[in-house]
Chain A
Amino acid sequence: MVRTRFLLSAAFAVMIAGSQAFAAQSEPQVLGGTPEQAEPAAMEKEAAPAESAAAEIPHEAAAPAAAAEHGAEAGGAASHSGGHSVIAEQSWSFDGIFGTYDRAALQRGFQVYKEVCSACHSMSRLAYRNLADLGYTEAEIKAIAADVSITDGPNDEGEMFDRPGRPSDHFRAPYVNIQAAKYANNGAFPPDLSLIAKARHGGADYIYAILTGYEEPPANRELLPGQYWNKAMNGNVLAMPAPLNAGQVAYGDGTDQSVDQYARDVAQFLTWAAEPHMEVRKRTGVKVFLFLLVFTGVLYAAKRKVWSKVH
Chain B
Amino acid sequence: MGSGHRATFKNPVVNWIDERLPIFTLMQKEYGTFPTPKNFNYFWSFGGIAMTMLILMIVTGIFLAMHYTPHASMAFGSVEHIMRDVNWGWMLRYLHMNGASFFFIAVYIHIFRGMYYGSYKKPRELLWILGVIIFLLMMATAFMGYTLPWSQMGGWAATVITNLFSAIPVVGDSIVALLWGGFSVDNPTLNRFFALHYLMPFVIFAVVFIHVWALHISGSNNPLGIDVKGPQDTLPFNPYYTIKDTFGLAVFMLAYVAVTFFFPNMLSHPDHYVQYDPMVTPAHIVPEWYFLPFYAILRAITFDIGIPFTDIVFIPAKLGGVIAMFGSIALLLVLPWLDTHPVRSARFRPLYRQFLLLLVASVVVLGYVGAQLPEGIWVILGQVCTAYYFGFFLIILPILSRKEVAKPLPHSINEAVLKEQSLKAEASV
Contacts and interface: CB of A to CB of B under 8 A. Distances in A.
Interface string B54-94: 00000000010011010001101110110111111111101
A176 interface: no
**Majority SS at the chain B contact face:** helix
A289 B257 contact: yes
B257 A78 contact: no
Given A73-B280, A74-B275, A285 B262 contact: yes
B243 A306 contact: yes
Contact of B86 (A26, A32, A77, A200): A32
Contact of B87 (A29, A53, A79): A29
B254 interface: yes
Interface residues of B, number: 56
Given A97-B262, A281-B90, A57 B279 contact: yes
B246 interface: yes
A240 to B, nearest CB: 17
Interface stretch (B206-214, B266-274, B363-371): B266-274
Given A31-B88, A32-B63, A284 B261 contact: yes
Given A32-B63, A75-B274, A57 B85 contact: no
Interface residues of A, number: 66
A203 B74 CA distance: 25
Nearest to B84: A276
Contacts of B283: 58-59, 78-79, 81
B66 A299 contact: no
A44 B73 contact: yes
Interface stretch (A33-41, A114-122, A154-162): A33-41
Interface in B91-113: 91-92, 94
Interface of B: 38, 63, 66-67, 69, 73-74, 76-78, 80-81, 83-92, 94, 152, 235, 239-240, 243-244, 246-247, 250-251, 253-254, 257-258, 260-262, 264-265, 270-271, 273-275, 277-284, 421
Instruction: Give the top 9 A-B pairs by smallest Cβ distance, nearest first.
Output: A285-B261, A79-B283, A38-B85, A29-B87, A296-B250, A199-B273, A76-B280, A299-B247, A198-B273
Interface of A: 4, 8, 26, 29-35, 38, 40, 43-46, 48, 50-54, 56-59, 73-79, 81, 97, 125, 130, 194-195, 198-201, 274, 276-277, 280-282, 284-286, 288-289, 292-293, 295-296, 299-300, 302-303, 306-307, 310-311
